[in-house]
């Protein structure tokens, strides 16, 4: 194994702080010469960044192979017809890039590969004897994200490991799913990370069971709830919380009350001198052609992911005032009482049935109704939990306190079931010779995002602090005066011996000042720094320093001594 000379390597570093970077990983990946932007959310990996990415890929491959995965490589361009058959051609919205090839066929750039792998399974799997089967790939994907930010944390073009398992039935998927779960835990641990596994909403992927692996981070875009008492954790999109009811009371007669200029829950509650939890809030959405009227307790907010799941749709958007008026409701004073029509769907949050004598709109400008009660005053068949869990809510499992945390999603695993196999006709002959749809699981890890998350968790004010397992190089040998032939000879000998011993070595032989070299060494963050200078020539020793804790260990310049010293330092993680 040969060492790499920095003077001949493409590793451009920046002293300046990039103005466009708001996350530490984005800032440091730019400054340390790991990535460069081409367009919004689209990056070139420079050689050092590519080496680190390949380290992460190697860990992922090892763990996926260990649970029976077989790697393949699927196209990034897909026929749109496959996506139309599963319904996701429209559900994915504008983040799905669509185009026509020269023959006029509609195509898409793959943001994910469920359709493609299911079509492959449809063609190749005929019998239960071929099951279970796990296929995975590490492939480039593209989603035209509207809010690309944070460098590789939320990019439009990204590298992803996606795996797909195929089973005879749900029990076999249930048996295999924990194996993937544990493999993910090992992957993240080997990368130096400790994410929180949280129960998750499957979203557009569909299916039943789902878990995300969330790295707690104050600037993370995702939010999850966590109970310190019992360990319950869930993505906020699917989190359940206990809604403590008010004391029971007798139902009072409904009455109209004037509420001039009170068009918000807060204004109504303040005007009438009641808490917001004693009101029924009206929230309107458009789902396809239908207007959705959500009735929820006034102190709660609607969880749109839960609502979409209840309605069985991905097409959910806020309704306009025109939509509300067309349905016979009055914006700011809307009431579920008297609302009807084939294109109006009333959804009642489960906080409403146990509540008593609420204040709701009167569908009359300037007026509300006191003592509105469900189901006495209005009815619907759709009663469900569509509320967003809040910080401080009681835990649904132990009654403890839920806390909201921000996080970065590192991986997501799903029990897809037969959603895709039924849509695409992927069947097999079971043990009785009957054709049945394949039962599927899906397992994703964002490789570039994982690399960025490593840096988010392992850096200091001076730069990156690489864990050894994912570091682009293990040892940085810095020669302080590259014009001194004796220093260069010793540094070259040290680098060569360490490389022969199996370490990846970067030799900093640039004609830069010692201060610049030490600055760049901290910035790039190679685990062990070996310094060759005048002292080395005088004492016959090499100064070694461990990046993550600053521990220094001079070692004799002999090959065996340096190899042992480096090995000892790398064990200190």
Q: What is the DSSP string of 330-371?
A: -TTS--STT---TTEEEEEETTSTT--SEEEEEEETTEEEEE
So what's the pLDDT on residue 309?
86
pLDDT at 460: 97
Confidence at residue 205, expressed as pLDDT on a 0 to 100 scale: 47
Calpha distance 246→275 (Å, rounded): 11
pLDDT at site 490? 94
User: What per-residue confidence (pLDDT) applies to 93?
Assistant: 83
Beta bridge partners of 163: 136, 443
DSSP secondary structure letter of residue 447: H
CA distance 347 to 386: 9
Instruction: Name 102's Cβ contacts closer than 8 Å, sequence gap at least 6.
Output: none
For residue 395, CA distances in Å to 168, 243, 311, 399, 528 come to 36, 10, 25, 5, 46
Helix axes of 447-457 and 47-66: crossing angle, nearest 10 degrees: 110
What is the pTM (predicted TM-score) of this model?
Answer: 0.89
d(CA 371, CA 316): 31
**Tell me, what's the pLDDT at 328?**
85
Residue with tokens 């609302």: 339
Residues of the chain with pLDDT under 70: 1, 202-208, 314, 340-342
Could you give all domains of the chain from N- to C-terminal order, each with its CATH number? 4-8+473-570 (3.40.50.800), 34-208+415-455 (3.30.930.10), 255-384 (3.90.960.10)
Identify the DSSP state of 394.
B
């Amino acid at each position: 194994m040969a060492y790499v000379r920095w003077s001949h390597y493409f590793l451009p570093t920046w002293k300046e702080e990039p103005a466009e970077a708001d996350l530490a990983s984005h800032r440091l990946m730019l400054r340390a010469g790991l990535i460069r932007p081409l367009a919004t959310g689209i990056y070139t990996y420079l050689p050092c960044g590519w080496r680190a990415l390949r380290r992460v890929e190697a860990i992922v491959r090892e763990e996926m192979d260990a649970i029976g995965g077989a790697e393949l490589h699927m196209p990034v361009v897909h026929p749109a017809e496959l996506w139309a058959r599963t319904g996701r051609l429209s559900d994915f919205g504008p983040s799905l890039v669509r185009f026509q090839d020269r023959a006029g066929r509609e195509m898409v750039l793959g943001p994910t590969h469920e359709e493609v792998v299911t079509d492959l399974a449809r063609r190749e799997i005929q019998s239960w004897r071929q099951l279970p089967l796990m296929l995975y790939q590490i492939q480039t994907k593209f989603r035209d994200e509207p809010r690309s930010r944070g460098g590789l944390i939320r990019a439009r073009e990204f590298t992803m490991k996606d795996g797909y398992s195929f089973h005879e039935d749900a029990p076999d998927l249930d048996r295999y799913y924990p194996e993937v779960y544990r493999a993910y835990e090992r992957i993240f641990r080997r990368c130096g990370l400790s994410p929180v596994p949280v129960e998750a909403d499957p979203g557009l992927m569909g299916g039943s069971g789902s878990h995300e692996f969330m790295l707690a981070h104050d600037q993370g875009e995702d939010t999850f709830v966590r109970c310190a008492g019992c360990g319950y954790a869930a993505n906020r999109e699917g989190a359940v919380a206990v809604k403590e009811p008010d004391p029971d009371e007798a139902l009072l007669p409904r009455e109209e009350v004037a509420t001039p200029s009170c068009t918000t829950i807060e204004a109504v509650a303040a005007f009438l001198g009641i808490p917001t939890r004693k009101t029924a809030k009206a929230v309107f959405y458009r789902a396809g052609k239908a207007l959705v009227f959500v009735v929820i307790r006034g102190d709660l907010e609607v969880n749109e992911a839960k609502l979409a799941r209840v309605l069985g749709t991905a097409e959910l958007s806020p309704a306009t005032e025109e939509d509300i008026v067309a349905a016979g409701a009055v914006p700011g004073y809307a009431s579920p009482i008297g609302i009807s029509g084939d294109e109006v769907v009333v959804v009642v949050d489960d906080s409403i049935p146990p509540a008593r004598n609420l204040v709701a709109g009167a569908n009359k400008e300037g007026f509300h109704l006191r003592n509105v009660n469900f189901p006495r005053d209005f009815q619907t068949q759709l009663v469900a939990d569509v509320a967003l869990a809040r910080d401080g809510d009681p835990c649904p499992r132990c009654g403890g306190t839920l806390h909201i945390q921000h996080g970065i999603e590192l991986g997501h695993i799903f029990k897809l079931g037969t959603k895709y196999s039924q849509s695409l006709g992927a069947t097999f002959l079971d043990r009785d010779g009957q054709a049945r749809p394949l039962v599927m699981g899906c397992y994703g890890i964002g490789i570039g995002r994982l690399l960025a998350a490593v840096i988010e968790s392992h850096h200091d004010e001076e730069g990156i602090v690489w864990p050894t397992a994912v570091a682009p190089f293990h040892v940085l040998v810095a020669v302080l005066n590259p014009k001194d032939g004796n220093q260069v000879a010793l540094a070259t000998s040290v680098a060569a011996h360490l490389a022969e011993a199996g370490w990846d070595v970067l030799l900093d032989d640039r004609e830069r000042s010692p201060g610049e070299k030490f600055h760049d060494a901290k910035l790039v963050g190679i685990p062990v720094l070996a310094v060759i200078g005048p002292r080395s020539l005088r004492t016959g020793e090499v100064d070694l320093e461990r990046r993550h804790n600053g521990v220094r260990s001079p070692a004799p310049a002999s090959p065996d001594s340096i190899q042992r010293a480096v090995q000892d330092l790398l064990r200190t993680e």
